[in-house]
């Protein structure tokens, strides 16, 4: 079996990133009384994790759809100026679709998908792809300087805000000198979905309260701090790009696709929101449908950002 599949970082790993990135567990961020049960209605959720969204087939389908939408909106799978990476890591890989495509694009590369669970078992994954199970809050189970390209996307709803600097330091630690780290995030504040109508504001208030109970960012701080996290992790040649995409049919194909994705994402937390705030799930779902109609009425847009940086070569 290849060296990169099961090797784990030793406790005495050296390097600034390794020394600063203290491992954390979900219990550091999650009070016991707000942990999601295993099942909420017909949806399956992880226990004792800050992650808000379901882990089931419905969410797997949404994640695949989201991948195609982001690839179309960003006009590619990555923005970092990578050339011919030999080892690629996708942290929070979800269904693995991004990693599959990178494995096909770079057949000479070894590609690892890393996540809490294997969301779905691919019938015929690329031969140069492997899945490794683990929790990024406990540190990455890979040696220093292991990968030429490390990618992490849309984990603002999974990593508590105080853990972000350490999490990015871990990404830098496992990146080889000369390699690149790329982060892709969406805004997590109401202002990142603007202009917004009353139903959007009402739902987002409930969503933000639930997220805040898990220590997740609800003010857009993470998205706006990506470049700083990379810099603090010791990376150089940092580039930060912000994007504003239309949300709704008024914005054409991309707007329609993003609106469908966001509506399904919000539906994914409708049951936990209903349970937490003493509402019926139908009431919450009706609020989501009203909000999605508002996006056309108000011509709402949503904010994304991509940041990447390079690990310096030794002098």
pLDDT digits (tens, 9 = 90+) for 62-120: 999 999 999 999 999 999 999 999 999 999 999 999 999 999 999 999 999 999 988 77
- Strand bridging mode 129-133 / 147-153: unpaired
> For the segment 163-214, what is each residue's pLDDT rounded down to a tens digit?
999 999 999 999 999 999 999 999 999 999 999 999 999 999 999 999 999 9
Tokens representing 294 are 């508002």
Predicted structure pTM score: 0.86
- Residue 35 structure tokens: 């942990």
- Residues 165, 171, 174, 179: is their CA dihedral positive or negative? negative
Q: Are strands 39-40 and 43-44 parallel, antiparallel or unpaired?
A: antiparallel
Query: Which domains occur in the chain, in start order?
Result: 32-310 (3.40.50.150)
- Summarised one tens digit per residue, pLDDT across range 81-94 is 999 999 999 999 99
- d(CA 295, CA 288) in angstroms, rounded, equals 11
């Amino acid at each position: 079996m290849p060296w990169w599949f099961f090797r784990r970082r030793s406790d005495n790993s050296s390097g600034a990133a390794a020394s600063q990135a203290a491992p954390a567990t979900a219990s550091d961020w999650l009070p016991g009384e707000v942990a999601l049960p295993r099942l909420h209605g017909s949806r399956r959720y992880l226990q004792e994790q800050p992650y808000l969204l379901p882990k089931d087939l419905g969410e797997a389908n949404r994640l695949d759809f989201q991948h195609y939408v982001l690839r179309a909106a960003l006009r590619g799978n990555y923005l970092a100026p990578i050339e011919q990476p030999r080892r690629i890591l996708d942290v929070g890989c979800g269904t693995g679709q991004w990693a599959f495509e990178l494995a096909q694009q770079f057949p000479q590369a070894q590609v690892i998908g890393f996540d809490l669970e294997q969301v779905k078992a691919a019938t015929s994954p690329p031969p140069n792809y492997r899945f490794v199970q683990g929790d990024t809050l406990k540190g990455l189970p890979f040696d220093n300087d292991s990968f030429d390209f490390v990618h992490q996307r849309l984990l603002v709803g999974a990593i508590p805000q105080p853990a972000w600097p350490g999490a990015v330091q871990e990404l830098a630690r496992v990146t080889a000198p000369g390699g690149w780290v790329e982060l892709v995030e969406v805004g997590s504040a109401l202002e990142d979905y603007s202009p917004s109508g009353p139903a959007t504001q009402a739902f987002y208030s409930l969503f933000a309260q639930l997220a805040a109970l898990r220590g997740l960012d609800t003010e857009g701080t993470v998205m706006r701090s990506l470049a700083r996290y990379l810099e603090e992790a010791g990376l150089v040649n940092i580039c930060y790009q912000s994007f504003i995409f239309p949300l709704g049919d008024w914005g054409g194909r991309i707007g329609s696709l993003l609106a469908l994705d966001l509506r399904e994402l919000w539906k994914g937390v409708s049951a936990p929101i209903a349970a937490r705030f003493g509402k019926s799930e139908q009431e919450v779902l009706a609020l989501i449908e009203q909000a999605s109609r508002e996006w056309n009425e108000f011509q709402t847009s949503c904010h994304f950002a991509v940041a990447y940086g390079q690990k310096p070569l030794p002098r």
